[in-house]
Amino acid sequence: MAALTPYTFIQCPCSDSSTLGRPSDANPAANATNDDDEEADEDNRTFDPRAPRSNFSLYPLEYLLYCEDCHQIRCPRCVSEEIASYYCPSCLFEVPSSNLKSEGNRCTRNCFQCPICIGPLAVTSVETKPDPSLLAAPDNAAAPHSGPYALTCSYCHWTSTEAGLKFDRPNNIHAQLTKLRNGGLTRLTARERRERRKDPAYRAHLAAAAAVAVAAASEDVDDVEERGRGPGIEEKESLDVETQFANLKSFYQAQLANPNSSDTGLTGLGDLGFSSPTSLSRIMSIYTGGSLRDKKAKSRVGAMREALDADEGFQPARLDESAAIAALQAHGFDGTSSTAQLAEQPVNIGEPAFPHGQAHFASDLRPVPHLLRTKRSKRCPVCRHIISKPEAKVQTTRFRIRLVAGSYIPSIAIRPLALSPIPNTSSSFSSTSAPIPTSTSASASGPAIPGALLEPLRPAHFVLTFKNPIFESVKITLGAPAHTPGRFSSKVTVLCPEFQIDANTDVWDEALKEGLATTGGGAASGERDPRERRRRRGGTEDGSQSGINPTTQLEVGKIWERGRNWVSIVVEVVPPSLSTLPSGGGDSGLPLQEDEDVLEIPLFVRVEWEAEMGGDEVGSVMPGVGGSKEKGEGREKRELAYWCVLGLGRIRR
């Protein structure tokens, strides 16, 4: 069983079902009243970290953002994203969004991925292929680089010649590739195709091209298909999807424009716009059951005929799959392309053998141009303020604006607390029946090693260290259910549910102060090891360790230790026995579910502080934003409340 590192997840308030859709006044702090006991009574609802819904609302602190205007946590689910720029992850070239519309969402600058293993492809000359293991041999540089060229993967040694793709020039591969069909045939545009059909030499040319295709393509798919098709050139002509669509479109447009089937109210389908009143009436007629439908339209539909030949976009279905079967027999399952590989493939519109872009065999796979990625800025969905904005330049990873929650709400660190000495375990066991959090229960043993298993029915103690990131001192109120929800309920006691954390003041100021020994908890180095700090503090305050040993002292209502901008408190838990024997309980006979042995306690955290009233705080005028506010002279009271989940450890089975 893997050891469990203690963790803290924070529930974004947006997932509160009672406030869905209105996150602005959805501050649970408004619901949560002054006392956490009252709060529990009032809501009568304890956050259950094991509820299936909770999976989608719990985030580590690092994932959360914070809106300064709404004074609210924002999680990945409750921000609206805007695409700032598109770029290629391979060449880091920013693609203007206008290009995106015309050229698609893939890099057009010779960035290709291997269709087999997604490794990057390099352009190499087919004749003098430099070996990837060769370390810059001087002779190699002198080697003549002449065409044809191919794309090769230096990892799995795939080469585009396997799909019959060779390039004349080493640059502008993307443009060359779009004109190439597998096997090296040129793909024609619709106009070229039309022009060529008029050419008398086309018949001979087509036959030659087919022969080339047969020779070049390693598989015999084309071969069989060529034979399978009829002798007539009209039947033999196979269209790629683009041409077929263009032909079909022009054919049906011609049909609609046909005078003997014309309708005064309706133009061609291609011109159908949703803004025109005729289209609207047409759509209405569809939904209203034909009351508006005129009979003319019906008769017009009846007058239309279907496409008859390749010129009109007619393509007979290829039912002869013997070639595919033969190839499957020859290459086996390994020769077929996987679903993942097919998903990576750009829609391949050039291949008559697989008109819908689906290559059935690995040998049909084409190089994959890199998919573009985006940089996104994030906005608060309520006030529309930007809370995260990356630098526009693709090469930089910096952010212009990034309001991370970690710099607004206190972080919670969990550390198991070993109480020394452990006098006798039996007494601690007896205290489990009623774990009164007095100093007597300090004799209980806790797992000293982080990640150690928790003993069932034996109190364990954890030190929670709250660290205040803001420059105001904050008041924290904690609320935890006495019994964790779930089948195996642990008893939880927060020994100090209410405390104050000092402001995150300047480190150097604090260091100077500590030099004068004015404050007890100050230290220059932030919080390094709290234990070390305590020892040091004990030394400075008492001059000796003669006082009560703080490691054995657990008192209700007392904080464990405090520092410059942090406070540690102790939580006592009594893990349940994970025995699944049917001991009378209704569903206790079920086997232990996955991670049901993890001790997770829900903790309601309420943070209150007083902040400067910003001049630009428009939001503070609005009621209900950011919880209750009492406007004083330039100061206002703020509060923030949320549930979080502390994963403390696994319970021994």
Partner 1 sequence: MSKRHSLHPGSSSNTAAPPKPPVHLSSSLTIADSTLLAGTHTISLHGETVIHPRARIESHLGRVSVGRKCIVHERAVLGAAPVSSSSAAAAVVRRGGGGDGASGGDGAPAGVTLADYVTVEVAAVIEAGETVVGEGTVVGVGSRVGAGAVIGKHCTLTPHSEIAAGEVVPDSTVVYANGMRRTDKRGVAELKNKTMARQIDMLRRMIPSNPAKFA
Residues forming contacts to partner 1 in the complex (CB under 8 A) are 116-117, 128-131, 133-135, 137, 139-140, 152, 155-159, 161-162, 334, 362
Query: Shortest gap between Cβ of 160 and Zn ion (angstroms)?
Result: 11
Query: Shortest gap between Cβ of 166 and partner 1 (angstroms)?
Result: 13
Query: Shortest gap between Cβ of 341 and partner 1 (angstroms)?
Result: 11
- Sorted by sequence, the CB contacts under 8 Å of residue 225 that are 6+ apart come out as 318, 320, 323, 352, 353
Query: Shortest gap between Cβ of 330 and partner 1 (angstroms)?
Result: 12
Residue span 130-169 as binding mask against Zn ion, x where in contact by CB under 5 A, dash where not: -----------------------x-xx-x-----------
Query: Which phi and psi angles does 475 have, rounded to 5°?
Result: -110, 130
Helices (H), 229-310: 233-236, 241-257, 277-287, 295-303
**What SS3 class is residue 30?**
helix
Question: Residue 130's binding partner, choosing from Zn ion, partner 1, none, with beta-carbon cut-off 5 to 8 A by kind?
Answer: partner 1
Question: With respect to partner 1, which residue has the nearer C-beta, 157 or 631?
Answer: 157
Is residue 490 packed enough to be buried (19+ CB in 10 Å), middle (13-18) or exposed (0-12)? buried
Question: Residue 87's binding partner, choosing from partner 1, Zn ion, none, with beta-carbon cut-off 5 to 8 A by kind?
Answer: none
Query: Shortest gap between Cβ of 469 and Zn ion (angstroms)?
Result: 19
Q: Which helix (H) or strand (E) holds 328?
A: helix 322-331
Question: Residue 12's binding partner, choosing from partner 1, Zn ion, none, with beta-carbon cut-off 5 to 8 A by kind?
Answer: Zn ion
Question: With respect to Zn ion, which residue has the nearer C-beta, 22 or 191?
Answer: 22
Contact region with Zn ion (CB under 5 A), list: 86-94, 232-240, 515-523, 581-589:
86-94
Query: Shortest gap between Cβ of 375 and partner 1 (angstroms)?
Result: 30
Q: Please, are residues 549 and 451 in contact by the beta-carbon 8 Å criterion?
A: no
Question: With respect to partner 1, which residue has the nearer C-beta, 27 or 124?
Answer: 124
Query: Contacts with Zn ion in 42-71 (CB under 5 A)?
Result: 67, 69-70
Should residue 121 be labelled a site residue for Zn ion when binding is judged by CB under 5 A?
A: no
Query: Shortest gap between Cβ of 322 and partner 1 (angstroms)?
Result: 24
Question: With respect to partner 1, which residue has the nearer C-beta, 20 or 137?
Answer: 137
- From the list 19, 61, 104, 109, which residue makes contact with Zn ion (rule: CB under 5 A)? 109
Question: Residue 620's binding partner, choosing from Zn ion, partner 1, none, with beta-carbon cut-off 5 to 8 A by kind?
Answer: none
Question: With respect to partner 1, which residue has the nearer C-beta, 117 or 592?
Answer: 117
Within a 10 A sphere around the Cβ of 471, how many other Cβ atoms? Answer: 13
CA distance linking residue 341 with residue 26, whole number of Å: 45
Query: Which phi and psi angles does 362 have, rounded to 5°?
Result: -60, -25
Query: What is the dihedral sign for C-alpha 89, 93, 95, 100?
Result: negative
β-strands 491-494, 474-479 pairing: unpaired
DSSP assignment of 371-409 equals: BPEEEEEEE-TTT--EEEEE-SSTT---EEEE-BGGGTS
Question: Residue 137's binding partner, choosing from partner 1, Zn ion, none, with beta-carbon cut-off 5 to 8 A by kind?
Answer: partner 1
Question: With respect to Zn ion, which residue has the nearer C-beta, 25 or 294?
Answer: 25
User: Minimal CA–CA distance to 625: which of 23, 20, 34, 31?
Assistant: 23
Question: Residue 75's binding partner, choosing from partner 1, Zn ion, none, with beta-carbon cut-off 5 to 8 A by kind?
Answer: Zn ion
Q: Read off the amino acid at residue 309.
A: D
Query: Shortest gap between Cβ of 297 and partner 1 (angstroms)?
Result: 57
Question: Residue 88's binding partner, choosing from Zn ion, partner 1, none, with beta-carbon cut-off 5 to 8 A by kind?
Answer: Zn ion
- Sorted by sequence, the CB contacts under 8 Å of residue 589 that are 6+ apart come out as 580, 581, 582
Q: Which helix (H) or strand (E) holds 340?
A: helix 339-344
CA distance linking residue 59 with residue 61, whole number of Å: 6
Question: Residue 69's binding partner, choosing from partner 1, Zn ion, none, with beta-carbon cut-off 5 to 8 A by kind?
Answer: Zn ion
Question: Residue 275's binding partner, choosing from partner 1, Zn ion, none, with beta-carbon cut-off 5 to 8 A by kind?
Answer: none
CA distance linking residue 561 with residue 514, whole number of Å: 16
- From the list 26, 29, 114, 217, which residue makes contact with Zn ion (rule: CB under 5 A)? 114
Q: Read off the amino acid at residue 216.
A: A
Q: Please, are residues 428 and 444 in contact by the beta-carbon 8 Å criterion?
A: yes
Query: Shortest gap between Cβ of 415 and partner 1 (angstroms)?
Result: 34
Question: With respect to partner 1, which residue has the nearer C-beta, 152 or 388?
Answer: 152
| For helices 241-257 and 190-198, angle between their N-to-C axes, nearest 10 degrees | 80
Query: Shortest gap between Cβ of 458 and partner 1 (angstroms)?
Result: 42
- Sorted by sequence, the CB contacts under 8 Å of residue 278 that are 6+ apart come out as 265, 266, 267
- Tell me the site size for Zn ion, rule CB under 5 A: 25
Should residue 107 be labelled a site residue for Zn ion when binding is judged by CB under 5 A?
A: yes
Tally of residues, the chain: 653
What is the gyration radius of the CA atoms in the chain, in angstroms?
36
Question: Residue 133's binding partner, choosing from partner 1, Zn ion, none, with beta-carbon cut-off 5 to 8 A by kind?
Answer: partner 1
- How far CA 252 is from CA of 237, 241, 308, 312, 616, in Å, comes to 20, 16, 12, 9, 60
Residue span 366-395 as binding mask against Zn ion, x where in contact by CB under 5 A, dash where not: --------------x-xx------------
Question: With respect to partner 1, which residue has the nearer C-beta, 158 or 560?
Answer: 158
Q: Detail the DSSP E strand segments found in 107-157.
A: 112-113, 121-125, 149-153
- From the list 29, 32, 65, 116, which residue makes contact with Zn ion (rule: CB under 5 A)? 116
Question: With respect to partner 1, which residue has the nearer C-beta, 361 or 560?
Answer: 361
CA distance linking residue 239 with residue 253, whole number of Å: 19
CA distance linking residue 59 with residue 223, whole number of Å: 57
Question: With respect to partner 1, which residue has the nearer C-beta, 140 or 579?
Answer: 140
Question: With respect to partner 1, which residue has the nearer C-beta, 159 or 568?
Answer: 159
Question: With respect to partner 1, which residue has the nearer C-beta, 162 or 222?
Answer: 162
Query: Shortest gap between Cβ of 358 and partner 1 (angstroms)?
Result: 20
Query: Which phi and psi angles does 299 have, rounded to 5°?
Result: -65, -30
Should residue 91 be labelled a site residue for Zn ion when binding is judged by CB under 5 A?
A: yes
Q: Please, are residues 601 and 571 in contact by the beta-carbon 8 Å criterion?
A: yes
Question: Residue 139's binding partner, choosing from Zn ion, partner 1, none, with beta-carbon cut-off 5 to 8 A by kind?
Answer: partner 1
- How far CA 110 is from CA of 156, 177, 255, 551, 581, in Å, comes to 19, 10, 42, 65, 64
Is residue 595 packed enough to be buried (19+ CB in 10 Å), middle (13-18) or exposed (0-12)? exposed
Question: With respect to partner 1, which residue has the nearer C-beta, 137 or 436?
Answer: 137
Query: Shortest gap between Cβ of 405 and Zn ion (angstroms)?
Result: 10
Query: Shortest gap between Cβ of 390 and partner 1 (angstroms)?
Result: 32
Question: Residue 78's binding partner, choosing from Zn ion, partner 1, none, with beta-carbon cut-off 5 to 8 A by kind?
Answer: Zn ion
Question: Residue 362's binding partner, choosing from partner 1, Zn ion, none, with beta-carbon cut-off 5 to 8 A by kind?
Answer: partner 1
Question: Residue 111's binding partner, choosing from partner 1, Zn ion, none, with beta-carbon cut-off 5 to 8 A by kind?
Answer: Zn ion
Query: Which phi and psi angles does 431 have, rounded to 5°?
Result: -75, -10
The DSSP call for residue 238 is: -
- Interface residues with Zn ion (CB under 5 A)? 12, 14, 67, 69-70, 75, 77-78, 88, 90-91, 107, 109, 111, 114, 116-117, 119, 153, 155-156, 158, 380, 382-383
